[in-house]
Chains A and B, each alone.
Chain A
């Protein structure tokens, strides 16, 4: 009996240590929206000391319109049971003590006791991810002006837009520079867009396959985008199967997939966060 008590104590203290050191913010509220506890990351994220927010309504951490509506959100959930955010996770805006706002990814789980519910929210600052996104958009704009660049569109995502005819020399150059860039940036996903290639014959396909194999050997996923219906049909007739190759119709879809791949990998690598990762997988 003593042993199990000790085990429980150990479990509790390791849980506590985890919460203390987690980079993600964790907040618990009761069913009236009153903050019960926060971890140190929350203090950092919002610029409050925990004594300033514990026992306050969670809405002080939200800008309008959520600020005014949150009590209603909670009431709706408690009466209808229809979850808009619980167990789903979504992007929201946080309000710091100094009045500035920032983007957050929020996942909420409900812990039910006999007569009451406690809601636990896990928050992640996604300012950087948003900035990457903006970077990406401006990169896409300048893309059209360049010929064979390799772009770092976001952390760990490379884009190699192939434009014009590709001979073996150019393919070799592209391969060398993409491999070097993968190493430099520790890229996890390389997108090769071939929309700008006027024709794809067996030689070009063979170059592409070589590049894909080499990037895979470096632990980098490769996505081919911009394959037109004509190219797809021609390749099929030539006898080049694309089944082993990840393809997306458009560059946009390819980027989405790349983000998805990275997002999942990021979350999978933190096991205390696996609850949210699986929640994300479910929405897909």
Chain B
């Protein structure tokens, strides 16, 4: 298979979210995810990238292919240099939102993906690394 291809998309404006979601769909389809999983991963990217624009103004999303021990999958890294997530524990709970919406973006994404790691602090912003394997 050779080196896994990487895709990076800048997040500066609303249209970039649509672009990122579209690219993610193509990316996971090519990897061989089921239709339902394609949709779930695209939705996860939609959640995380929307959060970047809403709470950190700008950032970047990176898509990587995972290929180890006969397992294949996708890694999504969403990064920003915003204010960081102030109350991470609460932010991971259902229905917690400082933005007046449903507050299920982060917990929902965690449910959708297989692995989910958040690094956040007020000086460097937020980095969310999440993975899903092909079943």
- A, B bound: yes
What residues make up the interface of A, taking CB atoms closer than 8 Å to B?
165, 167, 198-203, 205-206, 209, 229-231, 233-234, 237-240
Give Cα distance in the complex from A231 to B39, angstroms: 7
Chain B residues with CB under 8 Å of A165's CB are 18, 21
Contact A203 B101 (CB under 8 A): yes
User: Across the interface, do A230 and B112 meet the contact criterion of CB distance under 8 Å?
Assistant: no
Contact B40 A201 (CB under 8 A): no
- Residues of chain B from 24 to 75 with CB closer than 8 A to chain A in the complex: 25, 35-36, 38-40, 42-43, 46-47, 50
Q: Determine the chain B residues whose CB is within 8 A of the CB of A199 once the complex forms.
A: 21, 25, 39, 42-43, 46
A238 touches B104 (CB 8 A): yes
B104 close to A239 (CB less than 8 A) = yes
Where chain A touches its partner, the secondary structure class is: helix
Question: B105 within 8 Å of A by Cβ?
Answer: yes
**Contact A201–B94 (Cβ < 8 Å):** no
Identify whether the interface residues of B are mostly helix, strand, loop, or mixed.
Answer: helix
- Asked whether A238 lies within 8 Å of B18 as measured between CB atoms, the reply is no
Residues of B within 8 A of A198 (CB): 21-22, 25
Q: Is B84 an interface residue (CB 8 A)?
A: no
Contact residues in B for A206 (Cβ distance below 8 Å): 101-102
Q: Mind listing 20 A-B residue pairs with CB under 8 Å?
A: A198-B21, A199-B25, A200-B43, A202-B104, A202-B105, A203-B47, A203-B102, A206-B102, A230-B35, A230-B36, A230-B38, A230-B40, A237-B40, A237-B112, A238-B43, A238-B112, A239-B104, A239-B107, A239-B111, A240-B102
Which 7 A-B pairs have CB atoms at the shortest separation, nearest pair first? A238-B108, A230-B39, A201-B46, A206-B102, A165-B18, A202-B104, A239-B104
| Closest B residue to A169 using CB positions | B14
Report how far A202 CA is from B104 CA in the complex, Å: 7
**A230: chain B residues within 8 A (beta carbon):** 35-36, 38-40
